[in-house]
Amino acid sequence: MIEIFYIITQILFILSIFFLPTLLVDENYYSRSLKFTFIDKLSINLIFFINILFFASILNVKLNYILYGYFFLIIILSFINLKKINFSKIKIDYLFLLLFLFIFLISIDIADQIYFSWDAKTNWIFKTLNFYQGQKIEDLSQFNFTDYPHLGSYLWSFFWKFPHGTHEYLGRIFFVFIYLLSIISFSNCLRVNVFEKVIFSILLISLSYSYAIFSGLQDVLIFSAILFFARISYLIFDKKNNLGDFALVLILIGIINILCWFKNEGVFYSFFLLFSLIAAYKFSKICKLYLILGSASIFLLRVFLFNYYNVDLNPSYFEMEKTIYLDFSLILYKLKTITLYIIIYLTQSPTYVISLPILVYLIYKYSVKNLIRFILYFFIFNFIFIYLTYMFKMTEVELLIKASMSRVIFQTSGLYFLAIIIYINNYIKLFKR
Partner 1 sequence: MNKKIKKNFCILLISFLTLIFIYNQNLFRKAYNVTKLTYENRISQASGFCSEDSVGYLVYLKKKFNFNFNPAVYNYEDSVPNSNWPIYDNNLKNNSNHKILLNYPEQIELVFYPKENNFYTEKTISFGEGLSEIYFDLKVPSMNINSNLVIYTKSYGTNEKEIIYNKPFNELVKNHQRIKFPYNTLKVNSVIYKTIFLDIKNLEKNKINNIKIVIKNQFDINELEILDSYNRQCYYVK
Count residues near partner 1 (CB under 8 A). Answer: 43
Helix ranges, 281-369 (H): 285-308, 320-324, 328-348, 350-365
The least distance separating partner 1 from the CB of residue 198, rounded to whole angstroms, comes to: 5
Letters for 81-120 (x = contact with partner 1 by CB under 8 A, - = none) are --------------------xx--x--xx-xxxxxx-x--
The least distance separating partner 1 from the CB of residue 20, rounded to whole angstroms, comes to: 28
The least distance separating partner 1 from the CB of residue 331, rounded to whole angstroms, comes to: 14
**By the 8 A CB rule, do 37 and 44 touch?**
no
The least distance separating partner 1 from the CB of residue 216, rounded to whole angstroms, comes to: 10
Burial (0-12, 13-18, 19+ Cβ within 10 Å), 212: middle
Show contacts with partner 1 in window 179-238 (CB under 8 A). Answer: 193, 195-196, 198-199, 202-203, 205-206, 209
Show contacts with partner 1 in window 362-401 (CB under 8 A). Answer: 394-399
In angstroms, the CA 102 to CA 180 distance is 8
In angstroms, how far apart are the furthest CA atoms of the chain?
73
Q: Which is nearer to partner 1, 85 or 105 (CB)?
A: 105
In angstroms, the CA 199 to CA 206 distance is 11
Letters for 17-46 (x = contact with partner 1 by CB under 8 A, - = none) are ------------------------------
C-alpha torsion 400→119→212→19, nearest 10:
-130
Residue 322 found at the interface with partner 1 (CB under 8 A): no
Report in angstroms the alpha-carbon separations of 4 from 97, 105, 112.
18, 11, 11
The least distance separating partner 1 from the CB of residue 192, rounded to whole angstroms, comes to: 10
Q: Which is nearer to partner 1, 81 or 113 (CB)?
A: 113
Q: Residue 164 corresponds to which amino acid?
A: H
Q: Which is nearer to partner 1, 116 or 385 (CB)?
A: 116
Give the range of 24-32, 69-77, 124-132, 413-421 binding partner 1 by CB under 8 A: 124-132
Residue 8 found at the interface with partner 1 (CB under 8 A): no
SS3 letters across 169-227: HHHHHHHHHHHHHHHHHHHCCCCCCHHHHHHHHHHHHHHHCCHHHHCCCCHHHHHHHHH
The least distance separating partner 1 from the CB of residue 28, rounded to whole angstroms, comes to: 30
Helix then strand then coil, % of the chain, to nearest 5: 80, 0, 20
The least distance separating partner 1 from the CB of residue 242, rounded to whole angstroms, comes to: 30
The least distance separating partner 1 from the CB of residue 281, rounded to whole angstroms, comes to: 34
Secondary structure letter of residue 121 according to DSSP: I
Look at residues 63, 55, 58, 375 and name the one whose alpha carbon lies nearest to residue 237.
375
Residues at the contact surface with partner 1, assessed by CB under 8 A = 1, 3-4, 7, 101-102, 105, 108-109, 111-116, 118, 121-122, 125-126, 129-130, 133-135, 139, 167, 193, 195-196, 198-199, 202-203, 205-206, 209, 394-399
